[in-house]
């Protein structure tokens, strides 16, 4: 497998809404997992490596224990919760930046695996936060887009320096 280059903000591809996956993406998913682990990340979305499809990989606990890689093809979120929590997020496409982002602390995600089987899972806590962060990438959003304007402007300026 291969480690792929990670796009950095403000690359215009990070602003694009991704197309549904059609066909076999198992090689891409394997490369994305290699890339995520090499970059010391916990999640990576296809647009972050220049592939504009609705695919992300995640392994939230590998830094504390054994690797448990997960691949999400064409994910759909059901966030019908009206409670939000603040949590710190970093992004492999915005190196050196961490921001406190408000997100619902739980969700239901539906997705396909690499064999096309459909799955559904209720997620809470850090897993829910990570999923929302990666799905944002599939929708052309980055953590700056989740900040109040006054914080966003300052963080973007600081990052650009």
Active-site residue (options: 85, 89, 134, 156): 134
Instruction: Please give the Cα distance from 76 to 26 (Å, whole number).
Output: 19
Cβ neighbours around 74 below 10 Å, total: 19
Cβ(58)–Cβ(42) under 8 Å? yes
* CA distances, 45 to each of 17, 41, 50, 81, 83 (Å): 12, 11, 9, 24, 26
The answer to whether residue 106 is catalytic is no
- Which amino acids are annotated catalytic? 134
């Amino acid at each position: 497998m291969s480690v792929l280059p990670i796009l950095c903000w403000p690359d215009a591809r990070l602003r694009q809404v991704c197309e549904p996956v059609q066909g076999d993406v198992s090689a891409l998913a394997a490369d994305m997992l290699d890339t995520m682990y090499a970059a010391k990340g916990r999640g990576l979305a296809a647009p972050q490596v220049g592939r504009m499809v609705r695919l992300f990989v995640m392994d939230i606990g590998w830094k504390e224990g054994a690797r448990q890689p997960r691949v999400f093809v064409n994910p759909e979120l059901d966030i019908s919760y009206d409670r939000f929590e603040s949590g710190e997020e970093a992004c492999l496409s915005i190196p050196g930046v961490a921001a406190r982002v408000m997100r619902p602390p739980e969700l239901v995600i539906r997705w396909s695996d690499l064999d096309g089987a459909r799955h559904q899972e209720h997620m809470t806590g850090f897993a829910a936060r990570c999923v929302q962060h990666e799905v944002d990438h599939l929708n052309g959003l980055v953590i700056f887009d989740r900040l109040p304007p006054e914080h966003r402007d300052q963080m973007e300026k600081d990052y650009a320096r």
